[in-house]
Structure 1
Amino acid sequence: MPTVIEPKLIAGNANKPLAQAIARRMSLYRGMTVGLVDARVERFNDQEIFVEVFENVRGEDMFILQSTSNPANDNLMELLIMSDALRRSSAARITAVIPYFGYARQDRRTKARTPITAKLVANMIAEAGIERVLTMDLHAAQIQGFFDIPVDNLYASPIFALDIKKQFDDLSDVMVISPDVGGVARARELAKRIEAPLSIVDKRREKPGEVAEMTVIGNVTGKRCIIVDDMCDTAGTLCKAAEVLMEHGATEVHAYISHGVMSGPAVERVTKSVMKSLVLTDSIQPTAAVAGAPNIRILPTAPMFAQSILNIWNGTSVSSLFETETLGPIYEGIL
């Protein structure tokens, strides 16, 4: 009989708790122990990264679990070096599971003499021997086209929809808000799932990180507003949008964000803001400050990633997880 190749997981240092949670969920789904491959990812004194895999991976279907979050350069190099180590150890296939894809905001030339770094990173990943990428909520959908290898882009909106339906007993006064014109498609997707109307906060930036003016497009008077976006960095735009919505008559403001970058003053701003709650996924490992904030909640992505990895390994559909009917049972008892 032919030998069945089992999926094997290996994790970098970017988000060990998520990697361990994915392994636990896969163990639950398969009815057998699925652990992380024994390896060390360390640094020399000059901060060069060194990887050593202690298990035989010849002919194995390998999945590298690594977000390219802060410190982005270190975590990206870890991913590339782990892939090189596995490729040179004769792994049959290498899939990079990147819950948060860094450098995604540099997806186009915004002015003269600037790079398209997202494309550069895509080239580096492919050249390192990675044959497939699994990620979630890319900042720009066209980044999938930057790769010459298959890319599965999962969406957090089905998880958000499940959580909203549980947290909000009555959805009749709920309105979904896009914090800018570029995020309308993402907000519309969530609004369709919970059958809520859509509004937009149009913003103008004088320079990156600073918002000059905000205008609300739509009537939010008497509405419980849910801002949805793919990432929250310093939280300046998010907190300002919440203030503007309250000034325009919203009764309360919540936010659902796929990736909690949460740099600098972000936690302090969110804690002091008019937002009633901020909901993040664990695609980026929450800091102690984020985990301890009274109005921030974390939603798990491990059930979705674990099932996606198994679907890739089995050669079955990953897009089936976009449907509530498929994802709902996976999250039953979790949300």
Structure 2
Amino acid sequence: MIKHGLQIFACNASRELACDISNRLGMRPGRIDIARFSNDNLRVQIQENVRERDVFVVQSFTEPVSEHIMELMITLDALRSASAQRITAVIPYYSYARSDKKDAPRISITGRLIADLLQTAGANRVLTMDLHADQVHGFFSVPVDHLTAVSLIADHFRNRHDLSNMVAVATDAGGAKRTGRFSEKLGIPMAIIDKRRVSDTAVKQGAVVGEVAGRDVVIFEDEIATAGTLVSSVDTLKAAGARSIHAAATHGVLCGPAIERLRAAAIDSVVVTNTVALPEDKRLDKLTVLNVAPLFAAAIERIHSGQSVGALFE
């Protein structure tokens, strides 16, 4: 039984996921009105009593990203003004985690900026999943619970594939640690593709480090955005003699030409989770979407009752 005082609110990017999380906790999402004034300014009104409540607001940073971030910021501020006792920003997909370093002159480390703004708006803590880089966790000055879908995705492959001939593949050296955790969960070997990024949208790939010839390979990433890296990795692995190719990622962003690229690619299956809501026109036959609502519900229950969130992954 969930203790009295817990409330969950959904902003527009994650309404379906928030409803599922709430249902699993035996409750309904709190009533909230998000509208616009005539000058296009956003207006958020909390339509529940939240005084001295433990409140969780669910909102992924998905397209349109700036719109959804602003929605969340105003909602956090409204909850703080309404005297909520503790406010947790639940951000299943934190897109600005990719802006984690100063890799060009005169640019913003935007992942850190957004972290500061969340605290300023009223967030007392953050709950998120599979950040693009581990160091982004340190950008926050409030407590952060960092969930992972590695076990969920690993279980999917364990239950549906013969692992005796399978190899996990990292698309570059930077993703080797992430892919290594996935390969350890499945007890399978790992290979790495030598990739050099030319620009934000273009990469140059070289040899495969590891044995993939005649093997079933699964490319493991934190997210699939335009699918450019994924498709070029498929071509590299096919040229290296891979027997079958699968792909898995926590965040199925699938923006721009991603759907057309995946449809045309020589790839057997793609597995993502519902941290990003996907409309029906992006639901390919080869695409499987796993549900992270049970994991978020369990984490929220543990945060609310003062239990360890890390115990979920032990």
Which TM-score band (shorter chain)?
Answer: over 0.9
How far is the alpha carbon of 1:46 from its aligned partner?
3.5
Contact 2:88/2:124 (CA < 8 Å) preserved in 1? yes
Secondary structure (helix, strand or coil) at the match of 2:192 reads: strand
C-alpha distance in 1, partners of 2:164/2:207?
24
Provide the residue aligned with 2:160 in structure 1. 167
Where does structure 1 differ by over 3 angstroms across 4 or more consecutive aligned residues? none
C-alpha distance in 2, partners of 1:44/1:228?
44
Matches within 5 A, 1:224-235: 224-235=216-227
How far is the alpha carbon of 1:114 from its aligned partner?
1.3
1:95 pairs with 2:95: no
1:271-322 superposed Cα distances (whole Å, 9 cap, x missing partner): 110110111100010122222x111110000000000000000110111122
Secondary structure (helix, strand or coil) at the match of 2:178 reads: helix
Provide the residue aligned with 2:77 in structure 1. 84
Contact 1:271/1:294 (CA < 8 Å) preserved in 2? no
1:311 pairs with 2:310: no
Amino acid aligned to 1:309: I
Segment drifting more, 228-237 vs 44-53: 44-53
Provide the residue aligned with 2:54 in structure 1. 61
How far is the alpha carbon of 1:103 from its aligned partner?
1.1
C-alpha distance in 1, partners of 2:78/2:212?
54
How far is the alpha carbon of 1:40 from its aligned partner?
0.8
Secondary structure (helix, strand or coil) at the match of 1:255 reads: strand
1:20 pairs with 2:19: yes
Amino acid aligned to 1:95: T
Contact 2:193/2:205 (CA < 8 Å) preserved in 1? no
C-alpha distance in 1, partners of 2:38/2:272?
35
Matches within 5 A, 1:171-210: 171-210=163-202
Amino acid aligned to 1:144: H
Amino acid aligned to 1:206: V
Provide the residue aligned with 1:10 in structure 2. 9
How far is the alpha carbon of 1:247 from its aligned partner?
1.2
Matches within 5 A, 1:1-335: 5-27=4-26, 34-168=27-161, 170-291=162-283, 293-323=284-314
**Identity of paired residues, percent?**
39
Contact 1:5/1:61 (CA < 8 Å) preserved in 2? no
How far is the alpha carbon of 1:73 from its aligned partner?
0.5
Provide the residue aligned with 1:333 in structure 2. none
Structure 2 unmatched runs, 5+: none
How far is the alpha carbon of 1:53 from its aligned partner?
1.1
Secondary structure (helix, strand or coil) at the match of 2:229 reads: helix
Contact 2:5/2:52 (CA < 8 Å) preserved in 1? no
C-alpha distance in 1, partners of 2:122/2:14?
22
Secondary structure (helix, strand or coil) at the match of 1:62 reads: strand
C-alpha distance in 1, partners of 2:48/2:292?
27
C-alpha distance in 2, partners of 1:273/1:166?
24
1:20-77 superposed Cα distances (whole Å, 9 cap, x missing partner): 11111112xxxxxx11111111223433211011111101000001111111101111
C-alpha distance in 2, partners of 1:214/1:43?
50
Q: 1:46 to 1:278 in 2, by over 3 A?
A: farther
C-alpha distance in 2, partners of 1:237/1:266?
10
RMSD, aligned CA: 1.0
Secondary structure (helix, strand or coil) at the match of 2:231 reads: helix
Amino acid aligned to 2:70: M
Secondary structure (helix, strand or coil) at the match of 1:172 reads: helix
Contact 1:199/1:218 (CA < 8 Å) preserved in 2? yes
TM-score computed with the length of structure 2 as normaliser:
0.97
How far is the alpha carbon of 1:132 from its aligned partner?
0.5
How far is the alpha carbon of 1:207 from its aligned partner?
1.4
Number of residue-to-residue matches in the alignment: 312
C-alpha distance in 2, partners of 1:143/1:152?
12
